[in-house]
Protein backbone atom coordinates (compact mmCIF):
# COMPACT_ATOMS: atom_id res chain seq x y z
CA UNK A 1 0.00 0.00 0.00
CA UNK A 2 0.98 3.63 -0.55
CA UNK A 3 1.32 5.81 2.56
CA UNK A 4 2.87 9.04 1.27
CA UNK A 5 0.35 11.87 0.91
CA UNK A 6 -2.63 9.62 1.75
CA UNK A 7 -5.47 10.32 4.16
CA UNK A 8 -5.65 7.52 6.75
CA UNK A 9 -9.39 7.16 7.29
CA UNK A 10 -10.07 3.45 7.59
CA UNK A 11 -8.40 0.13 8.29
CA UNK A 12 -9.80 -0.92 4.89
CA UNK A 13 -6.85 0.94 3.31
CA UNK A 14 -4.27 -1.40 4.84
CA UNK A 15 -2.83 -4.64 3.51
CA UNK A 16 -0.57 -7.14 5.27
CA UNK A 17 2.60 -5.83 3.63
CA UNK A 18 1.76 -2.25 4.63
CA UNK A 19 1.08 -3.29 8.21
CA UNK A 20 4.34 -5.20 8.57
CA UNK A 21 6.34 -2.31 7.08
CA UNK A 22 4.66 0.07 9.55
CA UNK A 23 5.47 -2.24 12.48
CA UNK A 24 9.13 -2.44 11.40
CA UNK A 25 9.26 1.37 11.32
CA UNK A 26 7.55 1.57 14.73
CA UNK A 27 10.28 -0.67 16.20
CA UNK A 28 12.88 1.86 15.01
CA UNK A 29 10.81 4.65 16.52
CA UNK A 30 10.73 2.87 19.88
CA UNK A 31 14.54 2.87 19.83
CA UNK A 32 14.56 6.61 19.13
CA UNK A 33 12.18 7.25 22.04
CA UNK A 34 14.30 5.06 24.36
CA UNK A 35 17.46 6.96 23.34
CA UNK A 36 15.90 10.12 24.79
CA UNK A 37 16.83 12.01 21.61
CA UNK A 38 14.49 13.84 19.25
CA UNK A 39 14.47 13.02 15.53
CA UNK A 40 14.62 15.54 12.70
CA UNK A 41 12.30 13.82 10.22
CA UNK A 42 9.42 16.26 10.83
CA UNK A 43 11.53 19.42 11.17
CA UNK A 44 9.67 22.34 9.58
CA UNK A 45 6.35 20.45 9.64
CA UNK A 46 3.22 21.13 11.69
CA UNK A 47 0.57 18.69 12.92
CA UNK A 48 -2.92 20.09 13.69
CA UNK A 49 -4.96 18.04 16.16
CA UNK A 50 -8.69 18.74 15.83
CA UNK A 51 -10.61 16.97 18.58
CA UNK A 52 -14.40 17.38 18.57
CA UNK A 53 -14.69 14.60 21.20
CA UNK A 54 -12.73 14.02 24.46
CA UNK A 55 -9.39 12.19 24.44
CA UNK A 56 -6.40 11.62 26.67
CA UNK A 57 -4.20 9.04 24.93
CA UNK A 58 -4.86 9.59 21.25
CA UNK A 59 -4.33 13.35 21.18
CA UNK A 60 -1.34 13.31 23.52
CA UNK A 61 0.32 10.46 21.66
CA UNK A 62 -0.20 12.07 18.22
CA UNK A 63 1.29 15.28 19.59
CA UNK A 64 4.16 13.49 21.37
CA UNK A 65 4.86 11.56 18.15
CA UNK A 66 5.16 14.77 16.12
CA UNK A 67 7.35 16.44 18.78
CA UNK A 68 9.57 13.33 19.07
CA UNK A 69 10.25 13.59 15.33
CA UNK A 70 11.23 17.26 15.56
CA UNK A 71 7.93 18.69 14.27
CA UNK A 72 5.57 21.20 15.88
CA UNK A 73 1.92 20.99 16.90
CA UNK A 74 -1.15 23.24 16.86
CA UNK A 75 -3.99 21.77 18.85
CA UNK A 76 -7.63 22.19 19.79
CA UNK A 77 -8.88 19.64 22.32
CA UNK A 78 -12.41 21.05 22.41
CA UNK A 79 -13.37 21.96 18.85
CA UNK A 80 -17.12 21.79 19.61
CA UNK A 81 -16.90 24.61 22.17
CA UNK A 82 -13.92 26.76 21.23
CA UNK A 83 -13.52 26.61 17.45
CA UNK A 84 -15.49 28.39 14.72
CA UNK A 85 -17.93 25.46 14.73
CA UNK A 86 -19.65 27.68 17.33
CA UNK A 87 -20.11 30.20 14.50
CA UNK A 88 -21.50 27.42 12.28
CA UNK A 89 -18.38 26.80 10.20
CA UNK A 90 -18.78 23.57 8.25
CA UNK A 91 -16.43 20.58 8.39
CA UNK A 92 -15.71 21.15 4.70
CA UNK A 93 -14.55 24.73 5.30
CA UNK A 94 -12.55 23.73 8.38
CA UNK A 95 -10.73 21.18 6.19
CA UNK A 96 -9.94 23.82 3.56
CA UNK A 97 -8.74 26.29 6.22
CA UNK A 98 -6.61 24.05 8.45
CA UNK A 99 -4.85 22.51 5.48
CA UNK A 100 -3.50 26.00 4.68
CA UNK A 101 -1.95 26.09 8.16
CA UNK A 102 -0.68 22.57 8.89
CA UNK A 103 1.10 19.80 6.96
CA UNK A 104 -0.98 16.99 8.47
CA UNK A 105 -4.20 16.79 10.50
CA UNK A 106 -5.31 14.28 13.15
CA UNK A 107 -9.05 14.51 13.82
CA UNK A 108 -11.62 12.95 16.17
CA UNK A 109 -15.36 13.54 15.90
CA UNK A 110 -18.49 11.92 17.43
CA UNK A 111 -20.17 11.33 14.04
CA UNK A 112 -19.32 8.38 11.81
CA UNK A 113 -18.03 9.57 8.43
CA UNK A 114 -17.24 13.11 9.61
CA UNK A 115 -13.45 12.77 9.29
CA UNK A 116 -13.88 11.74 5.64
CA UNK A 117 -16.01 14.82 4.96
CA UNK A 118 -13.28 17.12 6.27
CA UNK A 119 -10.52 15.12 4.55
CA UNK A 120 -12.19 15.44 1.14
CA UNK A 121 -11.65 19.21 1.32
CA UNK A 122 -8.16 19.11 2.82
CA UNK A 123 -5.02 19.66 0.76
CA UNK A 124 -2.93 17.81 3.37
CA UNK A 125 -3.24 14.25 4.76
CA UNK A 126 -5.92 13.73 7.41
CA UNK A 127 -5.66 10.88 9.93
CA UNK A 128 -8.81 9.53 11.54
CA UNK A 129 -8.38 9.59 15.34
CA UNK A 130 -11.87 8.11 15.84
CA UNK A 131 -15.19 8.88 14.14
CA UNK A 132 -18.26 7.95 16.16
CA UNK A 133 -18.79 4.22 16.45
CA UNK A 134 -17.30 3.73 12.99
CA UNK A 135 -13.49 3.40 13.17
CA UNK A 136 -10.38 4.20 15.20
CA UNK A 137 -7.67 3.00 12.82
CA UNK A 138 -4.57 4.18 14.70
CA UNK A 139 -5.76 2.47 17.90
CA UNK A 140 -6.16 -0.78 15.96
CA UNK A 141 -2.69 -0.29 14.44
CA UNK A 142 -1.13 0.00 17.89
CA UNK A 143 -3.17 -2.96 19.15
CA UNK A 144 -1.90 -5.17 16.34
CA UNK A 145 1.62 -3.84 16.86
CA UNK A 146 1.34 -4.88 20.53
CA UNK A 147 0.19 -8.39 19.52
CA UNK A 148 2.96 -8.66 16.90
CA UNK A 149 5.60 -7.62 19.45
CA UNK A 150 4.32 -9.95 22.16
CA UNK A 151 3.93 -13.08 20.05
CA UNK A 152 6.37 -12.36 17.19
CA UNK A 153 3.49 -13.13 14.82
CA UNK A 154 -0.23 -12.61 14.33
CA UNK A 155 -1.09 -15.61 12.16
CA UNK A 156 -2.54 -18.64 13.95
CA UNK A 157 -3.62 -16.73 17.04
CA UNK A 158 -7.12 -16.81 18.53
CA UNK A 159 -8.50 -13.39 19.39
CA UNK A 160 -11.19 -13.00 22.04
CA UNK A 161 -13.35 -9.88 21.99
CA UNK A 162 -15.43 -8.91 25.01
CA UNK A 163 -17.51 -5.84 25.82
CA UNK A 164 -19.58 -3.44 23.76
CA UNK A 165 -18.95 -5.10 20.41
CA UNK A 166 -21.84 -3.17 18.85
CA UNK A 167 -20.42 0.30 19.51
CA UNK A 168 -16.67 -0.21 19.95
CA UNK A 169 -15.00 1.46 16.98
CA UNK A 170 -11.73 -0.02 18.23
CA UNK A 171 -12.88 -3.62 17.97
CA UNK A 172 -14.45 -2.87 14.56
CA UNK A 173 -11.10 -1.48 13.41
CA UNK A 174 -9.16 -4.37 14.97
CA UNK A 175 -11.15 -6.74 12.77
CA UNK A 176 -10.42 -4.52 9.74
CA UNK A 177 -6.71 -5.24 10.24
CA UNK A 178 -6.85 -8.77 11.69
CA UNK A 179 -8.67 -10.05 8.61
CA UNK A 180 -5.34 -9.94 6.76
CA UNK A 181 -4.04 -12.69 9.05
CA UNK A 182 -5.02 -16.30 9.67
CA UNK A 183 -6.76 -15.76 13.01
CA UNK A 184 -9.85 -17.08 14.76
CA UNK A 185 -12.26 -15.01 16.83
CA UNK A 186 -14.25 -15.83 19.98
CA UNK A 187 -16.82 -13.12 20.76
CA UNK A 188 -18.82 -12.41 23.89
CA UNK A 189 -20.97 -9.39 24.70
CA UNK A 190 -23.98 -8.50 26.83
CA UNK A 191 -27.22 -9.28 25.00
CA UNK A 192 -28.08 -6.31 22.78
CA UNK A 193 -24.45 -5.25 22.23
CA UNK A 194 -23.43 -7.94 19.75
CA UNK A 195 -20.93 -7.39 16.93
CA UNK A 196 -22.69 -5.77 13.92
CA UNK A 197 -23.95 -8.42 11.51
CA UNK A 198 -21.94 -6.99 8.62
CA UNK A 199 -18.68 -7.69 10.50
CA UNK A 200 -19.89 -11.05 11.80
CA UNK A 201 -20.73 -12.07 8.24
CA UNK A 202 -17.24 -11.10 7.05
CA UNK A 203 -15.66 -13.05 9.92
CA UNK A 204 -17.60 -16.08 8.69
CA UNK A 205 -16.44 -19.46 9.98
CA UNK A 206 -13.43 -17.84 11.71
CA UNK A 207 -15.77 -16.49 14.40
CA UNK A 208 -17.49 -18.23 17.27
CA UNK A 209 -19.99 -16.41 19.50
CA UNK A 210 -20.15 -17.68 23.09
CA UNK A 211 -22.46 -16.86 25.99
CA UNK A 212 -20.01 -16.27 28.84
CA UNK A 213 -16.58 -14.65 29.40
CA UNK A 214 -15.37 -17.99 30.91
CA UNK A 215 -16.03 -19.81 27.63
CA UNK A 216 -14.10 -17.11 25.76
CA UNK A 217 -10.96 -16.77 27.92
CA UNK A 218 -10.10 -20.46 28.03
CA UNK A 219 -9.68 -20.54 24.24
CA UNK A 220 -7.88 -17.34 23.32
CA UNK A 221 -4.35 -15.88 23.04
CA UNK A 222 -5.52 -12.26 23.06
CA UNK A 223 -8.33 -10.87 25.22
CA UNK A 224 -9.47 -7.61 23.58
CA UNK A 225 -11.69 -5.74 26.03
CA UNK A 226 -13.88 -2.71 25.36
CA UNK A 227 -15.77 -0.59 27.85
CA UNK A 228 -19.50 -0.05 27.43
CA UNK A 229 -19.49 3.06 25.21
CA UNK A 230 -21.58 5.41 27.37
CA UNK A 231 -21.53 8.22 24.80
CA UNK A 232 -23.37 6.03 22.24
CA UNK A 233 -26.43 5.37 24.46
CA UNK A 234 -29.65 7.36 24.30
CA UNK A 235 -29.95 7.59 28.10
CA UNK A 236 -28.05 6.94 31.31
CA UNK A 237 -30.71 4.40 32.23
CA UNK A 238 -30.08 2.44 29.05
CA UNK A 239 -26.27 2.55 29.61
CA UNK A 240 -26.56 1.33 33.21
CA UNK A 241 -28.26 -1.87 32.02
CA UNK A 242 -24.92 -2.94 30.53
CA UNK A 243 -22.07 -1.44 32.56
CA UNK A 244 -20.43 -3.95 34.91
CA UNK A 245 -22.25 -6.94 33.37
CA UNK A 246 -18.98 -8.51 32.13
CA UNK A 247 -15.83 -7.80 34.12
CA UNK A 248 -12.34 -9.16 33.55
CA UNK A 249 -11.19 -9.88 37.10
CA UNK A 250 -8.65 -12.13 38.83
CA UNK A 251 -11.16 -15.00 39.06
CA UNK A 252 -11.78 -14.89 35.32
CA UNK A 253 -8.04 -14.66 34.55
CA UNK A 254 -7.49 -17.93 36.49
CA UNK A 255 -9.34 -19.62 33.62
CA UNK A 256 -7.33 -17.89 30.87
CA UNK A 257 -4.24 -19.28 29.12
CA UNK A 258 -0.90 -18.60 30.85
CA UNK A 259 0.49 -16.80 27.78
CA UNK A 260 -2.66 -14.80 26.94
CA UNK A 261 -2.47 -11.01 26.86
CA UNK A 262 -5.16 -8.48 27.77
CA UNK A 263 -5.65 -5.42 25.56
CA UNK A 264 -7.95 -2.48 26.32
CA UNK A 265 -7.70 0.88 24.51
CA UNK A 266 -8.65 2.67 27.78
CA UNK A 267 -10.31 4.33 29.51
CA UNK A 268 -11.69 1.35 31.44
CA UNK A 269 -15.01 1.67 33.22
CA UNK A 270 -15.80 -1.36 35.38
CA UNK A 271 -14.68 -3.69 32.57
CA UNK A 272 -11.27 -4.65 34.00
CA UNK A 273 -10.82 -4.90 37.77
CA UNK A 274 -7.83 -2.96 39.17
CA UNK A 275 -6.56 -6.23 40.73
CA UNK A 276 -5.73 -7.43 37.18
CA UNK A 277 -3.18 -4.62 36.67
CA UNK A 278 -0.47 -6.65 38.42
CA UNK A 279 -1.18 -9.74 36.31
CA UNK A 280 1.79 -10.07 33.91
CA UNK A 281 -0.71 -10.72 31.12
CA UNK A 282 -2.12 -7.16 31.43
CA UNK A 283 -0.82 -5.12 28.49
CA UNK A 284 -3.22 -2.18 28.44
CA UNK A 285 -0.79 0.35 29.88
CA UNK A 286 2.09 -0.88 27.66
CA UNK A 287 -0.20 -0.30 24.68
CA UNK A 288 -0.15 3.45 25.31
CA UNK A 289 3.63 3.65 24.83
CA UNK A 290 3.35 1.52 21.69
CA UNK A 291 0.83 4.09 20.43
CA UNK A 292 3.44 6.84 20.37
CA UNK A 293 5.86 4.68 18.35
CA UNK A 294 3.15 3.58 15.89
CA UNK A 295 1.95 7.16 15.37
CA UNK A 296 5.55 8.32 14.83
CA UNK A 297 5.93 5.62 12.17
CA UNK A 298 2.63 6.58 10.55
CA UNK A 299 3.42 10.32 10.47
CA UNK A 300 6.82 9.56 8.94
CA UNK A 301 5.36 7.29 6.27
CA UNK A 302 2.46 9.62 5.42
CA UNK A 303 4.61 12.75 5.17
CA UNK A 304 7.99 11.43 4.00
CA UNK A 305 7.17 8.04 2.47
N1 LIG B 1 -7.70 4.76 23.39
C2 LIG B 1 -8.25 5.99 23.20
O3 LIG B 1 -8.75 6.31 22.12
O4 LIG B 1 -8.17 6.80 24.29
P5 LIG B 1 -8.61 8.34 24.32
O6 LIG B 1 -10.10 8.37 24.12
O7 LIG B 1 -8.17 8.83 25.66
O8 LIG B 1 -7.89 9.03 23.19
Pocket test for ligand 1, best of 49, 52, 54, 55 (most atoms within 8 A of CB): 55
- Share of residues in the chain with pLDDT > 90 (%): 100
| Domain 137-285: CATH class, spelled out | alpha beta
Determine the average pLDDT of the residues in 192-205. 97
pLDDT in tens, 225-276: 999 999 999 999 999 999 999 999 999 999 999 999 999 999 999 999 999 9
To the query of whether residue 58 is one of the catalytic residues in this protein, the response is yes
What is the average pLDDT score of the chain? 97
Domain locations along the chain: 11-135+288-304, 137-285
What pLDDT, on the 0 to 100 scale, is given for residue 269?
Answer: 95
Determine the average pLDDT of the residues in 269-285. 97
Confidence of residue 37 (pLDDT cuts 50, 70, 90): very high
- Round to whole Å and give the CA distance between 163 and 100: 41
Q: Is the CB of 265 under 6 A from ligand 1?
A: yes
Q: Is the CB of 286 under 6 A from ligand 1?
A: no
Contacts of 231 (CB under 8 A, 6+ apart): 53, 110
CATH topology agreement for domains 11-135+288-304 and 137-285: yes
What pLDDT, on the 0 to 100 scale, is given for residue 11?
Answer: 96
Confidence of residue 72 (pLDDT cuts 50, 70, 90): very high
Determine the average pLDDT of the residues in 283-287. 96
- Round to whole Å and give the CA distance between 128 and 125: 10
Q: What is the pTM of this model?
A: 0.96
> Nearest Cα to 265, choosing from 214, 229, 239, 218?
229
What pLDDT, on the 0 to 100 scale, is given for residue 110?
Answer: 95
Q: Rounded to an integer, what is the distance from CA 95 to the centroid of its chain?
A: 22
What pLDDT, on the 0 to 100 scale, is given for residue 60?
Answer: 98
- Round to whole Å and give the CA distance between 46 and 105: 9
Q: Is the CB of 226 under 6 A from ligand 1?
A: no
> Nearest Cα to 41, choosing from 58, 59, 28, 24?
28
What pLDDT, on the 0 to 100 scale, is given for residue 56?
Answer: 97
What pLDDT, on the 0 to 100 scale, is given for residue 44?
Answer: 98
Instruction: Give the H or E element holding residue 160.
Output: strand 158-162
- Residues 94/50, Cβ–Cβ less than 8 Å: yes
What pLDDT, on the 0 to 100 scale, is given for residue 221?
Answer: 98
Determine the average pLDDT of the residues in 145-166. 98
Fold for the domain defined by 11-135+288-304: Rossmann fold (3.40.50)
CA of 184 to the centre of ligand 1 (A): 26
- Residues 169/131, Cβ–Cβ less than 8 Å: yes
Amino acid sequence: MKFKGQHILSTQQFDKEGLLSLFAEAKKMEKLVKSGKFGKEMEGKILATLFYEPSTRTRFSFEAAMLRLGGRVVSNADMMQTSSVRKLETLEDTGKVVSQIANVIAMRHPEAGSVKILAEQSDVPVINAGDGSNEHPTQALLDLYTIWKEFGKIDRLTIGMIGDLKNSRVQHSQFGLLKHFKVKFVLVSPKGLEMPSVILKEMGSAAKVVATPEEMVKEVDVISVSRIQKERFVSDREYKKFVGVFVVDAALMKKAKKHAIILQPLPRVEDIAVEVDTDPRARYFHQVGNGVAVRMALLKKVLNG
